[in-house]
Amino acid sequence: MVSHAPSFEACAFRVGEHSFAVDSGCVAEVLHAAKLTPVPLAPEAIAGLLHLRGRIVPVIDVRRRLGLPAAAAETPRTNLVIELGDDSYSLLVDEVLDVQAIPLDRIEPTAAGAERAAAEAVTGVFAAETRLIHLLDPERLVQSLIKQRLTPFVRHGVSHDG
Amino acid sequence: MVGANDNEEFVQEFLVESTENLDQLDRDLIALEQAPGDEERLASIFRTVHTIKGNSGFFGFSKLGALTHSGEHLLGRLRDGKLTFDDRVTGSLYSMVDAVRAILRTIETTGSEGDHDFRDLAQRLTAVAAGEAVEAAPLRPAPADASPPAAVAVAAAAAATSEKPTSADRTASESSIRVDVGLVGSILDLVGELVLARNELRSIDTADPAVLAAAHRINAVTNALQETAVKTRLQPIEHVFNKFPRTVRDLAVSCGKDVQLSIDGGDTELDRTLIESIRDPLTHLVRNAVDHGIEPPDVRAARGKPRVGRLSLRAFNESGQVTIEVEDDGGGIAVAAVRDKAVAKGLVAAERAASLPDEKILQFIFEPGFSTAAAVTSVSGRGVGMDVVKTNIEAIGGTVDIHSRPGLGTTVRVRVPLTLAIMPALIVRSASERLAIPQAAVRELVPLRGDRAADRGGPRIEGLDDAPVVRVRGRLLPVVFLDEFLGLRERTACRDDGTVVLVRVDDHEFGIVIDGVQHGQPAAAGVGEAASLSTVVVKPIGSLLSQVGLYAGATVLGDGGVVLILDLRGILRAADVPAGREVDGASVAPLASDAARYLVCRTRQGRRIALPLERITRLEHVAAADLQPLGGRQVVRRGDGFTSVVDADRLLGAEATTPADAVKLVVVGGAEGTVAVSVGQILDVLPAESPLQADSATTGVSGLLALGGLATEVLDVSRGLPW
């Protein structure tokens, strides 16, 4: 089917049974088998830190973020490194699928019952030939993880008196 | 007062800036020639010339002023559309730029504008500006005694007054370049990459002397490169200091005061990002000192002080940090007013405030909102916005403290790290993780006693589950088990085979229990514990992870592994270190000795009591079943002997209660012997806030003392000793 409507390039990936896509313009690179450094007491969806040519990149486990069951230990995972402004993040996904042009007029609003945790980051749905692709806004995904300070400053009455 | 030296610095800055502006002017003129209608470009040229004119007026360079004034006039007419852009106009403007450049060079080498006057050029500029009336007519014929074309004259003047700069004697504008900060960042990143590659190279097992020699050279070059790359981020602190002579002068004039400013250590270097961060706090401190600290001349005279107040700014390097002191010889801070205000604002109980030393009282002016109160400002004459100063300095990992002597003056001392980009850090192990602790905060590494098999002779973790402490040279310090705190694993009772890293953050001192320090990094293998101290390049971890509040950043080690850098201030807050607050009782002054410190407990019946720390040998936690009755008293087996146990309530003349399953014991020793006092709860270690007030009337009590703002009975331990 040929569409002449405006479209945008999306990079599709798979997490469990679900397909997602992000604007391919923000994808910097794809890494397989990268070593992650865990971050104790970080939000659950943070899988760790990735060392990428001198930069430290936080890795967001999309599976955990969406509340899907953990993958089997031997399941290979892939890092989809994205750039948002000056910041880099990596999305830990099961598999990067392809890059395809998605016609804007065929993007539908998010279906009710979409993954609850992801709902705030999913901006629309596109019915591809064989699967349903959820369009993910990485900016919103990151923002949804930035909460109020986890440990508010506790003042013990006067803290500098002695 | 702006001294000659300060002025010279200003002139230097003016020269560098103007030379840069002239280069821009050249480019703008060329662009304008190609697109004469470009109004924005014209406006930019006008502004540049106007700036140079203004500055020359400020420094009293009259020739430069006159010349740029003529140029400005010409440009003004162009801008207003009274004159069209043509070759005559361009030519005269280029001549002006050349002349300005020549004058600047003369100033730079001789300190003055030189002998040549540029009246002819100025006249020509004025003539061209007036050109509208004679638009079609040829340029007015030159006078009979026509001077050579201005540009030539300028060149001659320049040649006469200045020597051509040699490479050894470069002009200020030529010896420095402006580099984008991002570029410096990428260079540092690349150097980091190089360090990793270097380490890989070193780990190759080879005996080939040629390879070894090459690896050795690469190693040396890499180290030097890293050092140099880091230095590119440093700037002398005079970038901040330079504007203070003017600030102080203006403020002194407006307050009717006479202030002599002296500046020392302006060449002390600091990371440029930090320079920006300390600019506002320092300005605030300087303004405060002039505005509120230093008295008007008549008041000073009446107090027998010189009429001219002295304000001194000093910067120097001290143990890896930069210290900046702002010191005035003014009236000091009215401690009594601060004390009253602190009590009035409910920051401290009145009786406690009375017992706190002046140094402590002064710290209240850093409390948020404290100093905005007008009453304090007018009475103490000091301290507006000090909380903001403190917050800003702490945000970059620095500290502020204040010392004041009434009538003699005030010193505010700001300490900031040299850079946030790179710092020495201790790499430690906890469970399966490696973490970095900023070395600036580390006071001491204390190996614990060791398990039974290998007694290392160090201290043990004492105290109870809810308040573990370690005793180091007679002081009990609270500890945090890093593994448990970070959720890496369960704390296994009181592990005694780890190491305590004693750290001091702000005024809090506490210990962090780790498994050990990281040994044998490839970069410095086999140097023992020293090897764990690395200079790490701090990398940001982004808002996603900095919100956790426990990490100051991350770094990449020589083996390529990523290590998180602990934010000790965050840990202090999150772990809610029990005695942290109390330990700060020993802050400003050197840590108080045990003689003035007490262990505060609650008896099982709820009475608040204190025991002098100097008498306490250890804290113990035993099962109730371990207490054995023995001839009307109880004993507990300790090592090879027995210690008698006495209930604190019993000492106080009340009925002893039977402890539940666990007993908390405070073991007290003295020349007379040892006894274990059984208590209900260990509360805190606190410094005495008042002298001991003897009390012989109450059973079991030797006196009364203010501890933690509360009147507390001190247990008469000697009564517990059965012999």
What's this model's pTM, rounded to 2 decimal places?
Answer: 0.54
Q: What is the reported pLDDT for A113?
A: 56
Average of per-residue pLDDT values in chain B: 76
Contact residues of A toward B, CB < 8 A = 37-43, 46, 49-51, 53-56, 58, 60, 87, 89, 142, 145-147, 149-151, 153-154, 156-162
The SS3 assignment for B459 reads: coil
CB B614, CB B595: distance < 8 Å = yes
| B650, B655, B660, B662 alpha-carbon torsion, rounded to 10° | 0
- E strand or H helix at B323, and its extent? strand B321-328
Instruction: Answer whether B551 sits within 8 Å of A39, measured CB to CB.
Output: yes
Least Cα separation, residue B343 to chain A (angstroms): 11
Q: What is the pLDDT of residue A159?
A: 31
Tokens of B116: 């040549």
Residue A109 lies in a domain: yes
Please tell me which of B218-232, B494-508, B579-593 the model is most confident about, judged by mean pLDDT.
Answer: B218-232
Which residues touch A6 (CB under 8 Å, ≥6 apart)?
A103, A104, A105
CA quadruple B621, B624, B625, B628: dihedral, nearest 10: 90
Tokens standing for residue B341: 């205000």
Rounded average pLDDT over B247-269: 88
pLDDT digits (tens, 9 = 90+) for B301-348: 988 889 999 999 999 987 667 899 999 998 888 888 888 888 887 778
CB atoms inside a 10 Å sphere around CB B258: 16
**Where is pLDDT greater, at B149 or B438?**
B438
Q: Is the pLDDT of residue B370 over 60?
A: yes
Q: Do A151 and B549 touch (CB under 8 A)?
A: yes
Shortest distance, CA B120 to any CA of chain A (angstroms): 54
Chain A: residue nearest B482 by CA?
A: A40
> What is the DSSP-derived secondary structure letter of residue B670?
E
In this predicted structure, what is the pLDDT of residue B639?
A: 63
**CB–CB of A151 and B192 under 8 A?**
no
Task: Answer yes or no: do A161 and B363 touch at CB < 8 A.
Answer: yes
Q: Which of B554, B560, B585 is closest, CB to CB, to A49?
A: B554
Distance separating alpha carbons of residues B162 and B174, to the nearest angstrom: 16
CA–CA separation, A77 and A91 (whole Å): 10
Question: A42 pairs with which residues across the strands?
Answer: none
pLDDT value for B123: 85
Helix residue ranges, H only, A3-157: 62-65, 116-119, 138-145
Which SS3 state, helix, strand or coil, does residue B245 take?
Answer: helix
Residues of B in Cβ contact (< 8 Å) with A51 = 556, 560-562
Amino acid at B118: F
Mean pLDDT of B65-81: 85
Q: Contact B544/A161, CB-based, under 8 Å? A: no
Cβ-defined contact of B366 to A160 (cutoff 8 Å): yes
Interface of B with A in 179-198 (CB under 8 A): 189-190, 192-193
- A150/B548 Cβ within 8 A: yes
Residues of B in contact with A142 (CB under 8 A): 544
> Is B542 in Cβ contact with A58 (below 8 Å)?
yes
pLDDT band for A5, please (50, 70, 90 cuts).
low
CB A29 within 8 A of CB A53: no
pLDDT at position B672 is 59
C-beta separation of B307 from B252 below 8 A: no
Which band of pLDDT confidence, cut at 50, 70 and 90, is reported for residue B647? confident
Q: Is the pLDDT of residue B489 over 90?
A: no
Substitution target in B347, B541, B547 with the highest count of A β-carbons within 10 Å is B547
**Cβ-based contacts of A151 with chain B (< 8 Å):** 549, 570, 573-574
The bridge status of strand B641-647 relative to strand B673-679 is parallel
User: Reading across the β-sheet that carries A55-61, which strands appear in turn?
Assistant: A27-32, A78-84, A87-93, A55-61, A46-52, A36-37
> Contact B193/A54, CB-based, under 8 Å?
yes
**Is A160 part of a structural domain of the chain?**
no
pLDDT at A116: 59
pLDDT at B402 over 50: yes
Question: How many structural domains comprise chain A?
Answer: 1
Average pLDDT for B492-496: 60
One DSSP character per residue, B348-379 reads S-HHHHHHS-HHHHHGGGGSTTTTT-HHHHHH
- Half-sphere exposure at residue B288, Cβ-oriented, CA atoms within 13 angstroms: 27
Task: Please list, in sequence order, all residues whose beta carbon lies within 8 angstroms of the beta carbon of residue B228, skipping any fewer than 6 positions away.
Answer: none
Range of the domain at A27: 7-145
pLDDT at B268 over 60: yes
B486 touches chain A (CB under 8 A): yes
Q: E-strand spans in B558-626?
A: 562-566, 597-602, 608-612, 616-623
* Contacts of B575 by beta carbon, 8 Å cutoff, 6+ apart: B480, B485
pLDDT tens track for B201-251:
877 788 888 888 888 899 889 888 877 887 787 888 988 898 888 888 888
Residues in B closer than 8 angstroms to A157, CB to CB, are 347
Stretch B679-693: mean pLDDT: 79
- CB neighbour list of residue B639: distance below 8 Å, 6 or more residues apart: none
Confidence of residue A27 (pLDDT cuts 50, 70, 90): very high
Q: What's the rounded mean pLDDT across residues B647-665? A: 80
Measured between its terminal Cα atoms, the distance across chain B in Å is 74
Task: For chain A, report the end-to-end CA distance as a whole number of angstroms.
Answer: 76
Position A152 in a domain:
no
What pLDDT band is residue B594 in, cutting at 50, 70 and 90? very low
Q: What is the DSSP letter of B143?
A: P
Does B363 sit within 8 Å of A49, measured CB to CB? no
**Nearest chain A Cα to B187, which residue?**
A54
| B22 CB-side CA count, 13 A | 23
Res. A78: pLDDT tops 90: yes
Judge whether residue B478 has pLDDT over 80.
yes
Apex B369 CA angle, B295 and B256, nearest 5: 20
Q: How far is B538 from chain A (nearest CA, A)?
A: 10
User: B587: which chain A residues are within 8 Å (Cβ-Cβ)?
Assistant: 162
Is the separation of the CB atoms in B309 and B294 below 8 Å?
yes
* Chain A contact for B481 (CB, 8 A cutoff): no
Q: List the single residue in A50, A89, A149 with the smallest CB-CB distance to B549.
A: A149
Instruction: Determine the length of chain A.
Output: 162
Counting one residue from chain A and one from chain B, the pairs whose CB atoms sit within 8 A come to 110
Beta-strand relationship, B422-430 and B516-517: antiparallel
Look at residue B367 and tell me whether its pLDDT is greater than 60: yes
Asked if the structure places residue A159 within a domain, the reply is no
Least confident interval from B167-176, B243-252, B539-548, B674-683: B167-176
| Lowest-confidence segment of A123-137, B56-70, B159-173, B494-508 by average pLDDT | B159-173
- Give me the residue from B356, B488, B554 closest to A56, CB to CB: B554
Closest chain A residue by Cα to residue B547: A149
Asked if B510 contacts B478 with a C-beta cutoff of 8 angstroms, the reply is: yes
Which of residues A149 and B470 earns the better pLDDT score? B470
As a three-state string, the secondary structure of B556-577 is ECCCCCEEEEECHHHHHHHHCC
**Does residue B581 belong to the interface with chain A, where contact is any CB pair within 8 Å?**
yes
Q: CB-CB: which of B364, B573, B687 is closest to A151?
A: B573
Whether residue A160 and residue B564 make contact (CB cut-off 8 A), yes or no, is: no
Q: A150 lies in a domain?
A: no
Which residue, B618, B616, B622, B612, is CA-closest to B463? B618
Q: How near does any CA of chain B get to the CA of A121, in Å? A: 16
Q: Look up the ipTM and state it.
A: 0.83
pLDDT of res. B412: 93
> Which residues on A lie below 8 Å from B586 (Cβ)?
162
The pLDDT confidence band at residue B264, using thresholds 50, 70 and 90, is: very high
How far away is chain A from the Cα of B584, in angstroms, using its nearest Cα? 5
d(CA A136, CA A19): 10
- Residue from B363, B544, B556, B710 whose CB has the most chain A CBs within 10 Å, to mutate: B544
Residue of B nearest to A88 (CA): B542
- The CA distance from A149 to B7, in Å, is 48
Q: Is the CB of B547 inside 8 Å of chain A's CB atoms? A: yes
Radius of gyration, alpha carbons of chain A: 18
pLDDT band at B566 (very low <50, low <70, confident <90, very high): very high
The residue of chain B nearest to residue A147, with distances taken between CA atoms, is: B547
CA B229 to chain centre: 22
Q: Chain A closest CA to B336's CA: distance in Å?
A: 15
Q: How far is A102 from chain B (nearest CA, A)?
A: 30
Q: Where are the beta strands (DSSP E) in B156-214?
A: none
Residue from B437, B400, B189, B368 nearest B277 by CA: B400
Q: Which residues in B lie closer than 8 A to residue A40 (C-beta atoms)?
A: 433, 486-488, 550, 564
**For B492, how many CA atoms within 13 A lie in the half-sphere containing its CB?**
10
Average the pLDDT over B65-76 and give the result: 86
* B550 and A CB contact within 8 Å: yes
Q: Between these two residues, B45 and B167, which has the higher pLDDT value?
A: B45
pLDDT digits (tens, 9 = 90+) for B114-166: 878 788 888 888 888 887 443 433 333 333 333 434 333 333 333 334 444 44
Q: Which tokens hold the place of B181?
A: 């900060």
Give the nearest partner residue to A142 out of B367, B433, B544, using CB atoms: B544
| Cβ atoms within 10 Å of B421's Cβ, excluding its own | 22
Read off the CATH number of the domain in which A111 is found: 2.40.50.180
- Residues of chain A in contact with residue B192, where contact means CB-CB under 8 angstroms, are 54
Q: How far is CA B52 from CA B40, B45, B645, in A?
A: 19, 11, 86
Cβ A158–B348 below 8 Å, yes or no? yes
Judged by CB atoms closer than 8 Å, whether chains meet at A54 and B539 is answered as: yes
Which is nearest to B468 in space by CA: B459, B680, B453? Answer: B459
Q: Do A51 and B587 touch (CB under 8 A)?
A: no
More confident residue, B456 or B149: B456
Our CA-based measurement puts residue B361 at a distance from the nearest CA of chain A, in whole angstroms, of 7
In a 3-state reduction of DSSP, which class is residue B185? helix
**pLDDT digits 0-9 by tens, A81-95:** 999 888 899 999 999
A158, pLDDT greater than 60: no
Among B603, B685, B618, B688, CA closest to B651: B603
Whose tokens are 């992801």? That residue is A118
Tell me the C-alpha distance between B242 and B17, whole Å.
Answer: 15
* Rounded Cα–Cα distance for residues B330 and B456 (Å): 54
The CA distance from B64 to B15, in Å, is: 12
pLDDT band at B494 (very low <50, low <70, confident <90, very high): low
For B167, counting Cβ atoms within 10 Å of its Cβ (0-12 exposed, 13-18 middle, 19+ buried), the class is exposed
